[in-house]
Amino acid sequence: MSATAHLTEVDIKEIGRELDQIRDEIIAGRGDDDARYIRRIIAVQRSLEVGGRTLLSISILPPAWLAGTTCLAISKILENMEIGHNVLHGQWDWMRDPAIHSTTWEWDSATPADMWKHSHNVVHHTYTNVLGKDRDIGYSALRVSPEQQWHSIYLTQPIYNTMLAVFFEWGIAIYDVELERAWRGEKSWRDALTQLRGVLRKAGRQVVKDYIAFPLLAGPSFLPALLGNLTANIARNLWSHTIIFCGHFPEGSEIFTEQQLEGETRGEWYLRQLLGSSNIDGGPLFHIMAGNLSHQIEHHLFPDLPSNRYAEIAPRVRDLCERYGLRYNTGSLIHQTASVWRRILRLALPGPESRPADSA
């Protein structure tokens, strides 16, 4: 039975109205406090990076290596999660600061910003959890829903999901090229190869920066500095993979059909975002390190609102869910991670396909 079968058309319209009201209130209330928040986060991130790279320049000393690698890993997590992801969503465009704007920001990732904005902001956030439209359902590599047809390759998905976690930055870069669409004839190989060259140029700059230039600047500490950069990048990849998967693939995240998009109202769009997303419980520091994607439900409802406002919005969304008998999927990091891995392990095996709910 659909999770929304008990709702009337009036209920769905009212849900849409209430969520629109929340959105309008936050937009009207954006101001200096929000601007100070993102500028402070950027300043902290850059200080951590400078400090980390400075310590790695003398990382022939083990304490300096540990401290430098830790600082660099945290700075990379902040840059990708709370800064890059959210700036590229346009959450801070209202400030009209050309240095913190979705049209000018280029992040510390192998994927060029423009390519990622199309695959993520346009495709994923428009067609969230719609099978056949949202390529983020399993990232075209994993079976994360019984609605996906089983193939023998999925037997190995626990192994290649582990590899994806370690090399997440690179996996997403290749994924954004959409090679499988070119293979199916849905996209020209010329376009795919042009995008692939863009990825290789960006990836080349990343490799030179982290694995050649800064280690060379470390002189006698070349090898430990190289290892520190590698460790920081892997730590960032593992963290990003964990947070993102916990927001999309725990048990209870719903999948929808293309037919359900026909005539979809504003309220039904909101319901699709809500029911297809999951949150992670935690404190303020945890939410910042998660890029506030620990509030994945609120992020999918309001992807272009400042991320620091999601904690303020979350209780209101949860209250709305309780009043209308809707599931608000949240849990600890351990609980949500275990739920994701149970799903990946279970769906690696063949099993009967099930139909998505009949209505959003």
Question: What is the model's pLDDT at position 179?
Answer: 86
What is the pLDDT, as a whole number, of residue 355? 47
Contact 347, 146 (CB under 8 A): yes
Q: CA 208: distance to chain centroid? A: 25
CB 356 within 8 A of CB 254: yes
Per-residue pLDDT of the chain (360 residues; tens, 9 = 90+): 578 889 999 999 999 999 999 999 999 999 999 999 999 999 999 999 999 999 999 999 999 999 999 999 999 999 999 999 999 999 999 999 999 999 999 999 999 999 999 999 999 999 999 998 999 999 888 999 998 999 999 999 999 999 999 999 999 999 989 888 888 888 899 999 999 999 999 999 999 999 999 999 999 999 999 999 999 999 999 999 999 999 999 998 999 989 989 999 999 999 999 999 999 999 999 999 999 999 999 999 999 999 999 999 999 999 999 999 999 999 999 999 999 999 999 999 998 665 444 444
- Residue 352 has what pLDDT? 66
Q: How far is CA 170 from the centre of its chain?
A: 14
Distance between CA atoms of residues 206 and 79, nearest Å: 14
d(CA 324, CA 338): 28
Q: How many helices (H) and strands (E) does the chain have?
A: 17, 2
The answer to whether 43 touches 205, Cβ cutoff 8 Å, is no
Chain centroid to CA 174: how far?
16
Q: Which residues pair with residue 331 across a beta bridge? A: 280
Q: How many angstroms separate the CA atoms of 34 and 41, rounded?
A: 11
Burial of 329 (0-12, 13-18, 19+ CB in 10 A): buried
pLDDT at 360: 40
With tokens 């990382």, the residue in question is 59
Instruction: Find the helix or strand (DSSP H, E) in which 35 lies.
Output: helix 32-56
pLDDT at 358: 42
Burial 120-130 (b: 16+ CB within 10 A, else e): bbebbbebbbb
Q: What count of Cα atoms within 13 Å lies in the side-chain half-sphere of residue 267?
A: 16
Q: What integer pLDDT is reported at residue 4 of this predicted model?
A: 87
* Entry pTM: 0.94
Tell me which long-range contacts 145-151 makes (C-beta under 8 A, separation of at least 24): 145/255, 145/347, 146/347, 146/351, 146/352, 146/353, 146/354, 147/255, 147/353, 147/354, 147/355, 147/356, 148/347, 148/353, 149/353, 150/347, 150/349, 150/350, 150/351, 150/353
Q: Compute the chain's Rg from CA coordinates.
A: 21
